[in-house]
């Protein structure tokens, strides 16, 4: 009988130990954060970015990320606005280089955005992973930081089909706007003579936006940065260039321009360095800087709108969001962004020089932009979202005489160039 009692207590002891052991191993409930982005398309770069986002979940099982994938920036912005209206501010928003907009202003002004600077100051590794360009532009006068980008925007130029330029007799890349028009004329005359239907350029509305910024800001002085009186003069110069283009549809985009360039039907393709990954390997493409009146080399090197973290008041959620941002800026992930999407990483530890042979096109374009004498911001940093939308929707109407330069300038409003 005693042996049975001892056996009973022994069994109870084992069962108790198993129960207690199980309690000791019980994992905490993961912290859940919502993240909304505009990489929901079918392009290779969109697929790659979504895979990178998924990688954070795998490496951080204690954080559950609810990804809200939108196909583009406009759809993403609309969704963010809807969520804010019902009091559901996302924990992480990636504005993906979108220009200044009232939604961001509303989030910051209403104390809904997390100030990232305190985390930067207490974490040297985190601080070193953030681009100095980002810190210089986005740190407020009060020393706060509400947005961090995981890539740099390098642009201020155009891709050209070297075979077409050679065939048309263009022996030198133009350094002035007059020479640029001369190049377009030479290609146009050659195409007409050969009857090959190759256009000099068929620039999207965004391309004309780059043209305008370069013409307005090429001397990079404070006086010129506020000289909106130059806009009518610049519009006249744009009309002189437009003569060699045939696009009149506001729906025409960089995707259409890319397709024509890849088909060998376009000599000049206006886009940033990131356009390298969009160009067919069959095209002998190189990058050139947009011209200037002074012949100075001018380019755009910017950190545009990036990630904005929600200020929820929940310390666990905020810490989880910071971990996500650190992940995106880590050398490992930044290397993936470069290799899989050909975007320029913000983390300076990823050295572009080591990719000269592996990515010759990207390297040539990036090196040209980075070595320019003067730098200006990309249009996304110079224009408000509303101004950019008006420009891109109406520039062809102005260039084709359907709206007067005066009306266009008046509607566009005073350009907000200074930060």
* 58 vs 45: CA distance, rounded Å: 20
Place of tokens 């904005």: 308
Give the per-residue pLDDT at 99. Answer: 61
Give the per-residue pLDDT at 26. Answer: 56
Average pLDDT, the chain: 88
Digit-coded pLDDT (tens) for 32-66 = 999 999 999 998 899 999 999 999 999 999 999 99
Digit-coded pLDDT (tens) for 231-247 = 889 999 999 999 998 76
- 8 Å CB contact between 304 and 316: no
Q: What's this model's pTM, rounded to 2 decimal places?
A: 0.83
Residue 221 has pLDDT above 60, yes or no: no
Higher per-residue confidence, 346 vs 99: 346
Sign, CA dihedral 119-122-127-128, equals negative
Give the per-residue pLDDT at 418. Answer: 43
Confidence at 12, pLDDT banded by 50, 70, 90:
very low
Percent of the chain scored above 70 by pLDDT? Answer: 88
Higher per-residue confidence, 14 vs 392: 392
Going from the N-terminus, what domains does the chain have, and what CATH number goes with each?
A: 31-154+303-354 (3.40.190.10), 157-289+383-412 (3.40.190.10)
Confidence at 224, pLDDT banded by 50, 70, 90:
very low
Give a three-class secondary structure readout of 226-253.
Answer: CCHHHHHHHHHHHHHHHCCCCCCCCCCC
* 17 vs 23: CA distance, rounded Å: 10
Residue 10 has pLDDT above 90, yes or no: no
Structure tokens at 212: 């305008």
Structure tokens at 350: 């990823």
Residue 96 has pLDDT above 90, yes or no: no
* 130 vs 123: CA distance, rounded Å: 11
Q: How many residues does the chain have?
A: 419
Give the per-residue pLDDT at 247. Answer: 67
Span 273-298, average pLDDT? 95
Give the per-residue pLDDT at 387. Answer: 87
Confidence at 415, pLDDT banded by 50, 70, 90:
very low
Q: Any alpha helices (H) in 110-204, and if so which ranges?
A: 117-121, 124-129, 132-138, 162-167, 177-194
- 8 Å CB contact between 347 and 329: yes
Digit-coded pLDDT (tens) for 300-332 = 999 998 999 999 999 999 999 999 999 999 999
Confidence at 254, pLDDT banded by 50, 70, 90:
confident
Digit-coded pLDDT (tens) for 362-387 = 999 999 999 999 999 988 888 887 88
Residue 7 has pLDDT above 90, yes or no: no
Neighbours of 282 (CB within 10 A): 9
């Amino acid at each position: 009988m005693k042996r049975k009692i001892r056996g009973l207590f022994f069994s109870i002891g084992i069962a108790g130990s198993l129960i207690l052991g199980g309690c000791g191993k019980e994992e905490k409930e993961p912290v859940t954060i919502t993240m909304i982005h505009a990489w929901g398309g079918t392009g290779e770069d969109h697929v790659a970015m979504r895979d990178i986002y998924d990688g954070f979940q795998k490496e951080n099982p204690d954080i559950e990320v609810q990804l809200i994938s939108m196909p583009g920036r406009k759809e993403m912005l609309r969704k963010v606005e809807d969520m804010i209206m019902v009091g559901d501010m996302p924990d992480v928003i990636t504005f993906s280089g979108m220009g200044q907009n009232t939604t961001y202003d509303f989030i910051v002004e209403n104390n809904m955005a997390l100030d990232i600077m305190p985390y930067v100051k207490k974490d040297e590794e985190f601080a070193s992973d953030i681009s100095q360009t980002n810190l210089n532009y986005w740190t407020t006068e009060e020393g706060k930081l509400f947005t961090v980008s995981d890539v740099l925007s390098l642009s201020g130029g155009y891709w050209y089909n070297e075979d077409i330029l050679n065939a048309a007799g263009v022996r030198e890349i133009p350094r002035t706007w007059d020479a640029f028009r001369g190049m377009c004329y030479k290609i146009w005359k050659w195409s007409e003579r050969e009857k090959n239907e190759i256009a000099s350029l068929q620039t999207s509305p965004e391309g004309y936006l780059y043209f305008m910024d370069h013409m307005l800001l090429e001397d990079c002085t404070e006086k010129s940065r506020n000289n909106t009186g130059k806009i009518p003069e610049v519009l006249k110069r744009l009309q002189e260039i437009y003569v060699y283009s045939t696009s009149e549809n506001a729906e025409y985009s960089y995707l259409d321009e890319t397709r024509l360039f890849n088909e060998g039907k376009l000599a000049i393709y206006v886009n940033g360095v990131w356009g390298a990954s969009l160009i067919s390997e069959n095209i002998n493409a190189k990058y050139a800087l947009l011209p200037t009146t002074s012949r100075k080399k001018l380019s755009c090197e910017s950190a545009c709108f990036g990630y904005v973290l929600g200020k929820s008041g929940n310390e666990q959620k905020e810490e989880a969001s910071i971990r996500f941002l650190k992940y995106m800026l880590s050398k490992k992930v930044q290397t993936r962004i470069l290799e899989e999407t050909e975007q320029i990483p913000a983390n300076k530890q990823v050295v572009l020089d080591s990719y000269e042979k592996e990515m010759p096109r990207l390297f040539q374009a990036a090196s040209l932009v980075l070595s320019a004498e003067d730098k200006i911001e990309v249009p996304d940093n110079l224009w408000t979202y509303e101004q950019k939308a008006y420009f891109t929707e109406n520039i062809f109407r102005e260039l084709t005489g359907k709206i007067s330069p005066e009306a266009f300038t008046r509607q566009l409003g005073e350009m907000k160039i200074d930060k």
